[in-house]
Amino acid sequence: MTIDENQHPVRDSDSVIVPAGVKHNVVNTSKSKNLKLYTSYSPTRAYFLIHLLKIGARYRFMGIEVLDDEGFVKNPDLWTDNLSKSMAKTQFDITLTDQQLKIILYIRDYYKKWETLPMLKTIRDEFGLTTSEIDEQFKRGSSTARGVICKLAGLPKMLCIASGC
């Protein structure tokens, strides 16, 4: 299987998810067996991760580097909640709770609508939390809670840095 000019071996019973807009091709190389191919399409904004490999501090998806050298998501379309959980653990020593994940998803949705982060007051009001509770859940070292949430939400690096990450 070729995905974005990278060859990937595919065997019987394998599943492959191709990100939206990526060139791909499947060729049956068997001389004796027919290829059975089942396809399913989903909205382009669906977030899938089929094959995320952690190699040291590097993450790869189908041969593409997912994080930059500072641990920021390079392509927001490759973000998943599982990637966020892994980043939280390895970069901030946070094991995400359901509530923290809901906050991260809220931030992503807010960003999609407004192309910026909500103020801390907006997050507090939406989730009925105090600033101290949000800081306790997300603030790490010199990184602000908003900055950490921004980074874990896979939003643009400069926005996250401006927010204190």
Tens digit of each residue's pLDDT (9 = 90 or more) over 107-141: 999 999 999 999 999 999 999 999 999 999 999 88
Q: How sure is the predictor about 5, in pLDDT bands with cuts at 50, 70 and 90?
A: confident
Collapse the DSSP code of 127 into the 3-class scheme (helix H, G, I; strand E, B; otherwise coil) and give the result. Answer: helix
Instruction: Output the six-digit token pair for 40.
Output: 């399913």
Q: Residue 3's closest CA among 15, 16, 12, 14?
A: 16
Q: What is the pTM of this model?
A: 0.65
* Cβ-based neighbours of 121, under 8 Å, separated by 6 or more: none
Q: Residue 20's closest CA among 39, 1, 48?
A: 48
The answer to whether 118 and 110 have CB atoms below 8 angstroms apart is: yes
* pLDDT, tens digit (0-9, with 9 covering 90-100), for 64-93: 778 888 889 988 888 888 889 989 998 899
Let me know the angle formed at the C-alpha of 55 by 50 and 57, rounded to the nearest 5 degrees. 110
The beta-carbon contacts of 140-149 under 8 Å, at least 24 apart in sequence, are 140/92, 140/93, 140/94, 143/92, 145/120, 146/117, 146/120, 148/92, 148/94, 149/103, 149/104, 149/107, 149/117, 149/123
* pLDDT, tens digit (0-9, with 9 covering 90-100), for 10-34: 777 666 767 666 778 888 888 888 8
pLDDT at 40: 65
